[in-house]
Each structure stands twice: as C-alpha cells, then as structure tokens.
Copies of this chain bind each other. A is one copy, B any other.
Amino acid sequence: MIIVMTRAATRKEVENVERRLKQLGFDAHPIQGVERIVIGAVGGKKISFPTGLETLPGVERVVPIMAPYKLVSRESRGSDSIIAVGGVSIGGPQLAIMAGPCAVESREQLLTVARQVKAAGAQILRGGAFKPRTSPYSFRGLEKEGLEILAEAREETGLLIVTEVLNPNEVELVAQYADIIQVGARNMQNFALLREVGQSGKPVLLKRGLAATVEEWLMAAEYILLEKNYQVILCERGIRTFESATRNTLDISAIPMLKQLTHLPVVADPCHSSGNWRLAMPLSMAAIAAGADGLLIEVHPKPAEALCDGPQSLTPASFRELMEGVRRVAAAVGRVLPSCPENHPLVGRR
C-alpha cells in the first residue's frame, strides 16, 4: 500500500500517518519526492481491509498494491483449474458446450431441445426452473416441476444439467437436481447466495454482474472458494454500456485478461450479451478464439413462442451451424469439441 500525501501536508501529518500505520501492523517507508512525500506501507496481515487512512489530514490518496483476492488468483495457483463433473472436464483442451432454452416451459419442449442439442454435440443442458425477471409480470419458471423435467432429460440423454438458483433457501433443492448450479448476473453480489452455493459442494457457474468489474467478479468467486468449493466456472455474459445496438456489450477482452489473473475456467454467453440470435455464431467463434473454455447458448425449438428471451434464442438448426463454426475455430486455437454422437437421426444435416 502506498499513501500519497498532499503537497501541503505538514511534518506532523506525515508522522500521524506513520503512527497509524504502525498501529495497523505496517512498517512505514517514507520517500521524499520533489513536491510531496509518499509513504510505502509494508507488512500487515490481511488481504484487504479498511484502514481509514484516506480520511487522515494531509492524505491525498491510498494506492493498494496487492490484489484484493487470493484463492482465485493465478499467483496462488499457477496451473489452470479443471472442473471435472460427470465425465466432462471444463478448463482443459476440450470445450464445454452448455445449450438449451432460457426457461423450462414444458416436458415436451425440454426433451425435444435436449435431444437436439445433444445431437449437435453439447455435453450440458441449460434451462431455467427459477427465472429472475425484470418485470414482475413475466413468466417466472416452473420451479420444482422444472427441476424434475431437467432430471428426466438428463436421464434420457446423458447430458449434464446446469440451472440457476435465486434464493439461498432453494440451494439445497436445486443442488439435488443440478450438476452445475448457476448464479446469475443479478445475483453476482448476493453474498448469502454465494455462501450457500459454496457450501453445497456443487460446481458453480458464476455469471458476471451487468456492471461488475473483473476485480469484483473475482472477489465474488473468492466468496465461493472460501467455503472450500474450488469448482467455480466464470461466465462472461456482457456488460452494460452506452451502446444500444446490442443489448449488452460482450467484454471479449475480459477473457484473456482473466486467463492472466485467475486459474479458474471462463466460458462465454453470446446470447444474453447481444440479445440477438443473429450475432450468436460470430460471437461464439470470437469467444473461443479469445481463449474461452466453453459456451452457454440459448436454443429453443420455436423461438417465436418462447416464454422468455425468444429473440436471442437459436433454432436447433442454427445451433448446429454454430457448432460447426466453433469446431473450426477451436481447431485453430488448439482446442477440441466433443465429437457428435454417431448415427443420431438429427445429425447429418450437411
């Protein structure tokens, strides 16, 4: 930590800061510059805590040196974390493809789409049973019934299940059905929920908050790791900016930046970020080219009749096309997609 004093700071104010640093367990190393003094503070036990130093007279600002997170950092673990769940490894050479509808709407809808995404090469089925909706008048999901339909789809297809939980109370229930528990963008800083999913022991897909910095996102992941649950997958899903041509702005730069900062795997959601299914294929290819470990894709048998997020859902046919494009880009960056199930009646469109 560096404490920058104002130009007008008095000797007494400097000494006061030094005294406070000592109380806090730091050694103070003042450097007399041409115009002002800066004080390097060395030592101290905790990663990050409020020191109040900014409020002392004569202090202009405090510059932290250490990252405010620890367990998630690349410095704490040099090699990539690979999350192994039900035969799928997330973060290794093989890409993880999670696909399915925004919401589970009915048994028929989900089983249909599950078979279709399986045939196209996905390993994981997504689908919301509990839906966070901006408007209280929107469809909020089938809840427990939705979870049961997801489990049935897993039974039939062998796909793993990723589904969202909204309420700390419901983590236990969701964990009984899901292979991976999703924490949505709006709940990235729902700390009670982060602790519960941490304690569930299940792998967690942690979406980035709409206006969360990379640093805040990593601190949210740190909450989960602190519960001794190291199986966290980060999901870039677009941030909020002034641009309105797309719903959100996919922060593609965050993907390689995260690879420098953390050992956790990173996947991308190109549907939510754009709000436009026509952009899903180029953005999926871009995310893989940038180093993403997988994708989260919305697929609906009839997007025009979806109860949720139709405009950004792909048809099964578009999803197959997307997978072909992703397969080619994956090869260009040394990654692989799982091979499609052979002889499946839905395979072989081209």
Contact of A257 among B7, B136, B186, B246 (CB under 8 A): B246
B239 touches A283 (CB 8 A): no
A126-138, CB under 8 A of B: which get 1 and which 0? Answer: 0000001111111
Q: How far is the CA of A8 from the CA of B40 in the complex (A)?
A: 20
Asked if A22 is at the interface of the complex by the 8 Å CB criterion, the answer is: no
A100 contact set on B, CB distance < 8 A: none
A289 touches B278 (CB 8 A): no
B243 touches A254 (CB 8 A): yes
Q: How far is the CA of A43 from the CA of B186 in the complex (A)?
A: 32
Taking CB atoms and an 8 Å cut-off, the chain A residues in 254-281 that contact chain B are: 254-257, 260-261, 273-274, 276-279
Which residue numbers of A lie inside 8 Å of B, CB to CB? 2, 4, 7, 20, 29, 31-36, 38, 40, 42-43, 46-50, 52-56, 63, 65-66, 68-69, 75, 132-140, 166-169, 186-187, 189-192, 209-211, 213-216, 219, 222-223, 226, 239-246, 249-257, 260-261, 273-274, 276-279, 282-283, 285-291, 303-311, 313, 325, 328-329, 331-333
Supplied contacts A132-B189, A211-B211, A289-B289, 10 more A-B pairs, CB within 8 Å: A52-B310, A53-B304, A69-B135, A136-B223, A166-B191, A190-B190, A241-B242, A243-B254, A245-B253, A253-B283
